A and B are shown apart, each in its own frame.
Chain A
Amino acid sequence: NAGVTQTPKFRILKIGQSMTLQCTQDMNHNYMYWYRQDPGMGLKLIYYSVGAGITDKGEVPNGYNVSRSTTEDFPLRLELAAPSQTSVYFCASSTGQGGKLFFGSGTQLSVL
């Protein structure tokens, strides 16, 4: 099983550019999450989804958008990149109900 797959692994953006971080999981999990991790910090929740067609904001949603058209995919969209969005982004999935999170390998994003 591939688990949770994120692409790309690294990306450099210029201020004002847009991009989509891709996340797909093959475990048939209903719950999916996007976190960002700044250096020396913990994980901050950006958006999450409890199933196809249902998304909700986390702690730090400003500057991001998500969609969930299928159970497998949960892309994260940055519309107007800003230096403050330089971070490592992790996608995760879960069966829910207090279960463990399965993480992707992360995307390191720099906005210059």
Chain B
Amino acid sequence: QKEVEQNSGPLSVPEGAIASLNCTYSDRGSQSFFWYRQYSGKSPELIMFIYSNGDKEDGRFTAQLNKASQYVSLLIRDSQPSDSATYLCAVKDSEERTYKYIFGTGTRLKVLA
């Protein structure tokens, strides 16, 4: 069973701080990695994707990927109360011609004003 693991939290950070969310995955052949944000009672929305080792930055968000360690992280700089949500890590299954995505259980982030 392929798995994606996240700390469920809640992770509490003060406003303006950096929030660091982490994710590990078991499928060594995975090539595509995603971070979704989900507000309470809403559907997930994509905020970042990364395919290559290293860092990818988009505004206040930075995704980091280390395939050797099977580790993906999301950094949120200058955290705002509006960032309070659950963040889901998703990994595309490496099995050919399946196009399945495996989700972690999510990390709940609380940004304290």
Residues of chain A whose beta carbon lies under 8 Å from any beta carbon of chain B? 31, 33, 35, 40-45, 48, 50, 56, 58-59, 90, 94, 96-98, 100-101, 103-106
Contacts and interface: CB of A to CB of B under 8 A. Distances in A.
A98 B51 contact: yes
B99 A43 contact: no
A98 B101 CA distance: 9
Given A103-B45, A106-B43, A98 B103 contact: no
B98 to A, nearest CB: 7
Contact of A103 (B4, B43, B97): B43
Contact of B99 (A35, A90, A94, A106): A94
A31 B99 contact: yes
Contact of A45 (B46, B101, B106): B101
B105 interface: yes
B98 A101 contact: no
A58 B64 CA distance: 28
Contacts of A33: 101
A96 B44 contact: no
Nearest to A96: B99
A90 B100 CA distance: 15
A58 B101 CA distance: 10
A43 B103 contact: yes
Contacts of B45: 103
A104 B88 CA distance: 16
B63 to A, nearest CB: 13
Given A45-B100, A90-B43, A103-B44, A98 B105 contact: no
Interface in B49-81: 49, 51
